[in-house]
Amino acid sequence: MSASIIAVTNQKGGVGKTTTAAALLASLSRRGARVLGVDMDPQGSLGFSLGLDIEQCATCYEVFRGDMEPADAIAAAESCDLLPANILLAGAELEFNRPGREFMLKTALSKVEERYDYIIVDTPPALNLLTVNAYVASDSLIIPMAPEVLSLLGVSQIKETIESVREYYNPHLKVLGILLNRYNPRLNLNREVLELAGQIARQLDTVVFETKIRTSVSVAEAPAHGQSVVDYAPSAKPAQDFEQLCDQIADARFPRREKKGGR
């Protein structure tokens, strides 16, 4: 069975894409899944957040240039394998102008996906060539958003890109759901945003995930320790929420394992 490839996407920054990708990688790994994280953001946040020195390791840039095989560019982090990125990827739109450039990531992953059960792709905060590559290569999308109106605007703009990718490159792409990060049900704005998110979800023929990710200082602290929040503070509310999200995504194949002690 080939890997299930999920892209975490929203062209607005600061909505928790990297936090979500890292948490899913850690949670899936804890359940015994073989997982690969792929960073398509030139900022390299996913690799950095999981403890890699992104300036000193091979990245997907070398793979896309044809200088390196995907298997040779994959690095080992604490909880998963990673195909990292760094600032070299920032010029992709201009540098990679050959025919078929939308399939660079799909081609690369086809060479390694049999090794994994899940591949989680972190995308840049833009609807550009790198994001399109992620959509073309993926089976499904998760759209994180913060409980604020500007975040909602970003989600609605994704619809056109998804429809274009479906029409020309990947007709089977589906949206698993919209994920609300930093959610506080006691705030009026959060409740209003939830209602608006539901309307956008219907436009995308998807749902707002029942699980909402609550806020905690542990989310901000975890990257400094080279860990996802799930590994850094497993008893924190966001970590528990991400485990519930993983239940919804992967429980049939990889149910939670019984806890063995813990922090």
Instruction: Please report the sign of the dihedral spanned by the C-alpha atoms of residue 197, residue 202, residue 205, residue 211.
Output: positive
The pairing of strands 75-76 and 81-83 is antiparallel
| Domain locations in the chain as residue ranges | 4-250
- At residue 198, does pLDDT exceed 70? yes
Chain mean pLDDT for the chain: 91
Q: 157 or 223: whose pLDDT is higher?
A: 223
Rounded mean pLDDT, 222-244:
92
- Do 242 and 29 form a contact (C-beta atoms < 8 A)? no
| pLDDT score of 13 | 87
Q: Which of 254, 129, 250, 152 is nearest to 203 (CA)?
A: 152
- At residue 78, does pLDDT exceed 50? yes
Say yes or no: domain 4-250 is CATH 3.40.50.720.
no
| pLDDT score of 258 | 64
Residue 216 pLDDT grade (very low, low, confident, very high; cuts 50, 70, 90): confident
Distance of CA 232 to the CA centre of its chain: 18
Strand order in the sheet with 140-145: 75-76, 81-83, 35-39, 118-122, 4-8, 140-145, 174-180
| pLDDT score of 60 | 96
- Share of residues in the chain with pLDDT > 90 (%): 69
